[in-house]
Amino acid sequence: MAHVAIIIILLSTLQLSSSMLDTSKGKWKLLKSSIGVSAMHMALLPNDRIITFDRTDFGPSNITFPANKCPRETDCYVHSVEFNPAKRGVRPLTILSDTWCSSGALLPDGVLIQSGGNNEGERVVRTISPCDDCDWVETRNGLVSPRWYASNQLLPDGKVIIVGGRRQFTYEFIPRSLNSVEYHLPFLEQTLRTDLFPNNLYPFIHLNTDGNLFVFANDRAILLDYMHNKVVRNYPVMPGGVARNYPSTGSSVLLPLTLSGATKTTPPLAEVFICGGTVPDAIDKALANIYVEGTKTCGRLRLNDDNPKWEMTEMPLSRIMGDMLLLPTGDVLIINGAACGAAGWDLAREPVLHPVLYEPVSKRFLKMNPTTIPRMYHSSAHLLSDGRVIVGGSNPNSNYNFSALFPTELSIEAFSPPYLFGPSSRPNITGIVTGVNLVYERKVVVNFRWKGKGKDLDDRKMYVTMMAPSFTTHSFSMHQRLLVMEVAEIRQRFADNYVVVCLAPATAEVAPPGYYQLSIVYDGVPSRSRWVRIGS
- Between CA 152 and CA 522 the distance in angstroms is 33
Give the C-alpha distances (Å, rounded to integers) separating 306 from 300, 301, 501.
15, 12, 34
Task: Point out which residues pair with 390 in neighbouring strands.
Answer: 382, 414
Q: Any alpha helices (H) in 125-281, and if so which ranges? A: 186-190
**Amino acid residing at 113:** I
Question: Helix, strand, coil proportions of the chain in percent (round to 5)?
Answer: 10, 40, 55
Residue 4's pLDDT is 43
Count CA atoms closer than 13 A to 120's CA, side-chain side.
9
Q: What is the pLDDT of residue 74?
A: 65
CA distance 190 to 209: 26
The single-letter code of the amino acid at 102 is S
Residues 203 and 218: their CA atoms lie apart, in Å, by 8
Could you give the CA distance from residue 214 to residue 270 in angstroms, rounded to a whole number? 10
Helix (H, G, I), strand (E, B) or coil at 236: coil
Of 141, 201, 199, give the one whose Cα is nearest residue 165.
Answer: 201
* pTM > 0.75: yes
| Residues 6 or more apart in contact with residue 204 via CB below 8 angstroms | 151, 214, 215, 216, 217, 244, 245, 251, 252, 272, 274, 476
Three-class SS of 495-509: CCEEEEEEECCCCCC
The answer to whether residues 67 and 75 touch, using CB atoms and an 8 Å cutoff, is no
Give the span between the Cα atoms of 111 and 93, in whole angstroms: 15
Q: Give, in order, the Cα–Cα distances in Å from 246 to each of 39, 174, 199, 306.
A: 18, 23, 5, 30
Show pLDDT as tens, one digit a residue, over the chain (536 residues): 445 444 434 444 444 444 467 899 999 999 999 999 999 999 999 999 999 999 988 878 999 998 888 887 667 899 999 999 999 999 999 999 999 999 999 999 999 999 999 999 999 999 999 999 999 999 999 999 999 999 999 999 999 999 999 999 999 999 998 899 999 999 999 999 999 999 999 999 999 999 999 999 999 999 999 999 999 999 999 999 999 999 999 999 999 999 998 888 899 999 999 999 999 999 999 999 999 999 999 999 999 999 999 999 999 999 999 999 999 999 999 999 999 999 999 999 999 999 999 999 999 999 999 999 999 999 999 999 999 999 999 999 988 999 999 999 999 999 999 999 988 899 999 999 867 899 999 999 999 999 988 789 999 999 999 999 999 999 999 999 999 999 999 999 999 999 999 999 999 999 999 999 999 999 999 999 999 999 97
